[in-house]
Amino acid sequence: MRYLFIALAASGLGVGCATPRVSSQPQMSVEVERWQRWYQEERERAEALAVRLAEAESALEVAAQERAESAQLTLLLEDELGRAAAVRHSLVEHNAQLVSRQRELTALQEELEDVWYQAALSRARRRSQPQPSQEPVQAPSPPMPAGSP
């Protein structure tokens, strides 16, 4: 029986070695490679989308910052405009006061000119009249008011 077992083992080895070997990959490894390629493509696509998303977020942050600065500048400009309007209003009032004082000064100047004219006229009248030498010299009379003839 021993020889029979050895013969079977030798024939089994001979038949096994004589059969051609097929070097095909099992179906499982082809499927695994296909899934790995798909995974790599999806990963690259996801990374590209992440980069685009980061760029979009950065652009949104810049836009939000510009909007906030614009709103702040608008408030500052409105505040400055209010101050300028207040200054303008005070300048208009001051100008009106100056115009009123100018009118008052013009009226006073006209009155003063009238007084000077009346004084000069009265001096001229006194000088043009002959003065008696015997009468004592009297102090000059005060100038006449503007309304008297």
Average of per-residue pLDDT across 38-45: 97
Q: Which three-class secondary structure state does DSSP give residue 85? A: helix
Q: pLDDT confidence of 138, banded at 50, 70, 90?
A: low
Indicate whether 16 pLDDT > 90.
Answer: no
Q: What integer pLDDT is reported at residue 50 of this predicted model?
A: 97
The letter for the amino acid at 115 is: V
Q: What integer pLDDT is reported at residue 30 of this predicted model?
A: 86
* CA 117 – CA 110 distance, rounded (Å): 10
Q: What integer pLDDT is reported at residue 141 of this predicted model?
A: 61
The domain spans of the chain are 30-126
Predicted TM-score (pTM) of the model is 0.43
Give the burial string for 53-72 (b: 16+ CB within 10 Å, else e). eeeeeeeeeeeeeeeeeeee
**In terms of pLDDT, which residue wins out, 126 or 62?**
62
* CA 79 – CA 72 distance, rounded (Å): 11
Residue pair 119/88 in contact (Cβ under 8 Å)? The answer is no
Residue percentage of the chain with pLDDT more than 70? 77
